[in-house]
Each structure stands twice: as structure tokens, then as C-alpha cells.
A and B are shown apart, each in its own frame.
Chain A
Amino acid sequence: MHGQEFFYQAFVYLTAAVVSVPIAKRLGLGSVLGYLVAGMVIGPFGIGLIGEEGQDVMHFAEFGVVMMLFLIGLELQPSRLWRLRGQLLGLGGLQVGLSTAAIAAVGLFCGLAWPAAVAVGMTLALSSTAFVLQILAEKNLGRTDAGQSAFSVLLFQDIAVIPMLALLPLLASGAVQHHGDGTGGHTTAEGVTWVAGLPGWAQTLVVLAVVAGIVLAGRFLARHVLRFIARTRLPEIFTAAALMLVIGVALLMNKIGLSPALGTFIAGVVLADNEYRHELESDIEPFKGLLLAVFFIAVGASIDFDLVLTNPGTIAGLVGMLFVVKFVILFILGRVFKMGMDQNLIFAFALAQGGEFAYVLFSFATQSGVISRETANPLIAVVAISMALTPVFMAVNEKILLPRIGTKEKVDRDPDEIAEENPVIIAGFGRFGNIVGRLLAAQEVKTTVLEYDSDHVEVLRRLGFKVYYGDASRYDLLCAAGAERARLIVLALDDDNKILEMVRTIQKHFPHLTIMARASDRPQAYELLDAGVTHVYRETFDTSLQMAVDTLRLVGARAYQAHRAAKYFRRHDEESVHELAEMRHDKKAYITAARKRIQDLEQTLLEEKQDKGESRDAGWDTDSLQEEFAKEV
């Protein structure tokens, strides 16, 4: 793709997305379906804006899946992954095993040779990581029982692809004839691996060494490298580093014959405890989103409608069978693993389609001669259609099935996982925010801290604070920091404009969050009050008052009297800020009111001092008592 051509393509894809996704969202169908329809419309079987190169684009855009797994890894601390192990092996293993067997049986019944039937069974047993995770995330089901189980199954499938790729050539030797290199080392879509010529034990050793290398580098090296990069204070360099990391790991995985998605997932898990995690997340997120969008569009465009229309009955039958077989197995497994009805339905509908790995496996299987092109082509169409139907089924399940037969159980969130989300977010941990954070920490209130100064982050981290590096005013970083589930946010940045910007972002996207905002001075306090923030803290106010109190003491006032005077002054001044904030747009009224306020305050303080008029501390005053006493005597 050369310059002009590339921009033309990009424009077509972007336009399609921008037009179709909002419409799909409006109709309550989710973005994925929007992308698919867009792909069908602009594809060779629609208005033909993009041609056969859709397949290439799809391979490229599959990288979005790799990024997605990296992001999922980042969210998943090793300890949590360890807790999933039973589900991963049990549920995932059974799903792949049973589905392979069942689909292979159907294949045999339909007249396929047994190697071909097994190849088809393995391939179609896999589901679509991209579709499922995107849909679950969009519906906010990621952390539910169904979401977790679906994720475990998908992760197992990603791992299972590796032995499948190794198995296909072996099946071929039992089948028609043996094409390809036939050396026993398997190839991936991207080319020959480093380990191709090595004996089995050496391959295993290399793979283990590389994975161990990634884990060690992630644990001990990444922190320092990322800090060094963050110090440049150039966000684009950090983004470049994040991309470099993901692409590098993916390439490395290809070279040793592992799935790139699995490799980046491992890298993500290793980095899940890293303090730059939120920044990595928000840097990769947009790329992932766009690539996945392109991927979905490409899937839509790749559906071979000619093929479908020549054999509509066969294709429909195959799609139907694929869904029924996979759904029944998933549903039974869900039962066995004690999922509630609601969760089980979501789980089974979510995973009942074919996956993007089918493209790789089918093309590899045809190359190896395990299955013929005539068998593969309709099945590829079936996979694409089944993926395209998934968002439809999910929507039907959600809108029609669940309200009727669902058990109405609440979508329970694991309390452990909520506990990981801290109730307070502190944005800005400099000289202001750190005091807030330290007091909260001392009282064992859990906080997530966002700080933009990388040196600062490092120091605080060494002191034992959980501090993340990042620009807190970014929506995506707020999401990553758990703003959805936090209760309040302390805005302690030293940039007034940034704070106002954040207030607007938070009010728009996280209206449930209570905002506590730092204000540099009175005008800024007015701005914040205008914006609807009620908890506003002028940064020098209390310090000035304390200084005045100490000054009063040094010139001879009683400490308690100075203290109370300051408290009174404080309350009066706070009231005046609130009152004047409403009035300040009317210049004249403002000046009058402001003057009146100041006079009131002076007057009261003076009267208090001279013991005239209405004293605030009349309870401690004996004047009136003395008068009364004098009269009686």
C-alpha cells in the first residue's frame, strides 16, 4: 500500500466506522455489529470500496487481538491468574476437547475423512477472542462469573492453538499426501521459526528460556527502563515504548513458535504490578481499539456472499449446526461448573461462534493437505457468519431471553475484586496531594494515586506508596485507575486549568464521583463552585490562618481565643466565597456584597475583642450575671 492508496483505504475504513457504529449503538446493538455491517457495506460484495485485500488487512488487524490480550494481562495480577487455574484447565480443556470431538463426529457423519474431520473439529472448537471480549467489555460483563469463565476458556484456546498447529502436519501424513517442508518443525502464518530445526526437547527448552526471560525482564528491568523513558516527559516516546514492547514480544513469540497473543498476555501479567501500568494501558488502548475496529470491518468485508448465495441452505445449516453443538456443550459445562441460569446463558451465547484462529488453521490445514479447499472455503464463510451473528445473539439473549427465563439474580461482582479498586483516587501527589494521601494512608483508607512527575513517582514508590505514573486528566487513565468504582476523587494538581478540565470530564463520565478540588486562589474557587464542585479548598487559606493564629499568640493573645477567632474567620470567609461566587457576574452587586462582608467580619472581630455588642462567647461572659447579681444585692 503506497501513500495515496493507504490514505484512501484509511479514509474508507474510518468513515465506515464513524457512520455505522453510532447508528448501531443507538439501536442498542453494540459497536461490533456496527463494524461488521460497515464491513459488509464497503466490502467487495457490497458497494465494493475495498476489494480482496480485505484478507490482508484482516491479518494485519488481528494484531488488535494481541494488544487486547496484553491489556487483559495488565489487569490481571499473577495472583488472580493463579486463582483462575482450575477454570482455565478444567472448563477450557473440557470445552476444547468436547467440542472438537462433537464437531469431528458431525464431520465424519457428513462424509469427511477422519483426519479432515479432526482438523475441522479442532478449528471450529475455537471461539473468537476479539468478538467475545469486546462484546463482554462493552456490556460491562467482564468481571461477572460468565465473563471470567469465558475469558478462561478463550485463554485456554489461545494456548491450545500451539499443539493444534503442531498436530495438523501429523494428521496430513495420515491423510492424502504430504505437502510442505515436512521436517517436523511447524510453521506459522508469519514464517519459519528459530526453533524449526531443533529437536523437541531443545524447542521446549528455548520456549521456556524465552518465557522466563520475559518474566524476569518484566519484573526487574521494565520498571527502570520505563522510568528512564518517562523522565523525558515526552508522551509520544512513552507511547512508542509501549508499542515497541508489545510488537517486540509478539515478534519474539512468533520466532519461537508461540502465539503472539499468549506472549503479550504473559508480558501483560508480568507488568500488572508495575506502577506504569495505567500509562501503558491508556497508551495501548486506542491502538487496540482502532485495530480491532479494522479487524471487525475486515471480517464483515471478507464474508463471501457469492459463496453463501450459491448454497444458502448448506451454509445456513452449517452455521446452525456449529452454534447448536457449541452452545449445548458450553451450556452443559456451565451447569457442571455451577453457573447460575443468567450467567450460563451469557457464557454459552458468548462463546458459541468460530474464531479468528480458524483463518490461520484452515489455511495451514489446506497447505498441509489435511483438508481440501472445497471443504475449507464454505467453513471459512461459516466462521465469519457465526462471528457476525454473535453480537445479534447476545443482544437477543439480553433483551428477550434473559428478562423471561433469567433467574433475575443480580450480576454479582466478586467482593475481592471490588476490594482491589480503591475508594479514593488522588490526582496529583505533589506538595498538596501528598498530605491528603498520607493522612488517608495513616487512617488505612485505600487510595489510587496518579502523578505526572516520574521522578516523584519513583521516590514515592520506594517509600511504599502505590503511585501510578500518568496524566490524570485523561479519560482513559481515569478509567484505568478505577474511576467507575471509586467513591471520590481528590484533585490536587497544581494546574488550575487542568483541574477544571478534569471536573468537566468527571462530571460527564463519572457523575457518581464526589469531587474534592484544590483551588489556587479565590477566583479559581469561584470557577470551581460555578462548575458545581461543592468541596473546594483554597490552597493557602488554612496555612495563612494558622500563621495569623501564631502571630496573634506571639503578640500576646490567648491561644484558644486566637484559635476560635481563626475558626470564626474561616467559616465567615468560606460562606462569603460561596455567596460571592453566585454574585460575581454582576460587578456592582459583587463589589457591594464583598465590601459588606469584609465590614461585617471586621466589626464582629472587633466587637469580640472589645467585649461590646453581641459576643460570640457569651457563655463564658459573666457581665450580665454580674449585673443581675448587683441588682439583687
Chain B
Amino acid sequence: MPNQRILILFAHPALEKSRVNRVLVRYVQDLPGITFHDLYEAYPGFDIDISFEQKLLAEHDIIVFQHPLFWYSTPAILKEWQDLVLEHGWAYGKEGDALRGKTMFNAISAGGGEAAYHRKGLNRFTVRELLVPIEQTARLCGIDYLPPFVVHGTHGMTTDAIHNHALDYKRLLEAFRDGRVDIEASRQHPRLNSRLDAILTE
């Protein structure tokens, strides 16, 4: 399906200190068909405007949580956002079908390499596994949850490497927008960017 509208919910409490996310943002924030929504910038006091957020969600087909992985989870404001915006009777429950049929994934930067996020690694779980709470949240809301886009090993990453990841991120989002992602194939991979070429169609 072409012309998919994408909403990036971005959360980074100290973007001025960020190396990876800053670049990722720069590549995608002005793309046509994509709404970039910076939560810490919009709500520095955490006073989330629920009806505005819900309206925004309703107007988009694909939702991306973009954030650094903090303690195997999202930064605080994204949790607050879930708690407040995904209301019973709107997002889930008997009457709650506002998000049904939408697609969602996380776009994450993680300090550790992929090897660290492994049964035998320091973190003992893959990123996909650690995101289970979000996956289940999406499931409960009737959202199709896809594997995450993960930039691993940001510690000590070279500028070139960062730009390559940013380019991948941009290609992925454009493909989603234009309906050129093989959704079923993408489910087979631990990360959307494990083998990007394999899931993008022409």
C-alpha cells in the first residue's frame, strides 16, 4: 500500500548529548509523508496533551517509537505517553478500536553490540525480547507489531558508521511510506535492519 502516513514519536531527554539519534533525526525529520514528533521538546514538563496525541495517532498508519534504549526500556516520557494516551475505551477494551490495523515498531539505539544482547551475552536477551511489554501493549491495541530497527554498538561508533545507519533508517521509512516493505518477510528477522535489502521490494 503506497502513501502510508508515518508518525515518529521521538524521545531523548538530552539530545544535545546524543551522537547517534541526532544524526538519525536529521535524516528523517523532514521527509515528506512523515510526522516527526519530539516528545521531550513538546512536553518538557511532562504535561502530555492526550487528545492531541490521540488525534495524531488516528491520522497515521505506521507508528515508530524512536529512542535510545535506557535500562532495557524507553526513556521516561515515552512510558508516561503510553500510560496516558493509550486510554481504555479508546485504544483497547470493548469500545477501544482507534488503533486497530495500524503498524508499529521501535527504532532504537543501543550502546551494546548485538552479541551483548544474546542469551550468552551480558544482557541475556535480544532487544526484541526486551521489548516484549511494548509488543504486548501493541497487540492489546490491535496493532501489528514488527521487529525493531536497532543501531547496535553506538559506543565508539565511527561517524561514517552512524551515517550509514541513518541512511538505512531513511530508506526503511521511505519504503514503509511507499508500501515497499515485505511485511511478512520482515517478521522473520530479529531486526528490521538485519538484512534490509531482503525485506525491501521495488
Contact = CB atoms under 8 A, between A and B. Distances in A.
B155 interface: yes
Nearest to B71: A619
A136 B175 CA distance: 85
Interface residues of B, number: 15
Given A549-B44, A625-B155, 6 more contacts: A558-B40, A560-B14, A620-B70, A622-B17, A625-B111, A629-B156
A621 B12 CA distance: 12
A622 B111 contact: yes
Chain A facing B: main interface SS: helix
A446 B14 CA distance: 41
Interface string B166-191: 00000000000000000000000000
Interface in A615-633: 617, 620-622, 625-626, 629-630, 633
Interface in A591-633: 611, 617, 620-622, 625-626, 629-630, 633
A558 B40 CA distance: 8
Contacts of A493: none
Nearest to A620: B14
Contacts of A611: 17
A560 B76 CA distance: 12
A562 B44 CA distance: 8
A559 interface: yes
Interface in B23-58: 40-42, 44-45
A561 interface: yes
29 contacts: A549-B44, A557-B16, A558-B15, A558-B16, A558-B40, A558-B41, A559-B40, A560-B14, A560-B40, A560-B44, A561-B14, A561-B16, A563-B44, A564-B44, A611-B17, A617-B17, A620-B14, A620-B70, A621-B14, A621-B17, A622-B111, A622-B154, A622-B155, A625-B155, A626-B111, A626-B155, A629-B155, A629-B156, A630-B156
B96 interface: no
Contacts of B16: 557-558, 561
Contacts of A563: 44-45
Interface string A527-567: 00000000000000000000001000000011111111000
Contacts of A626: 111, 155-156
Contact of B44 (A559, A620, A633): A559
B41 A559 contact: yes
A437 to B, nearest CB: 21
B115 to A, nearest CB: 12
Nearest to B157: A626
B71 to A, nearest CB: 9
Interface in A46-86: none
Contacts of A562: 44
Contact of B13 (A557, A560, A630): A560
Contact of A620 (B17, B41, B156): B17
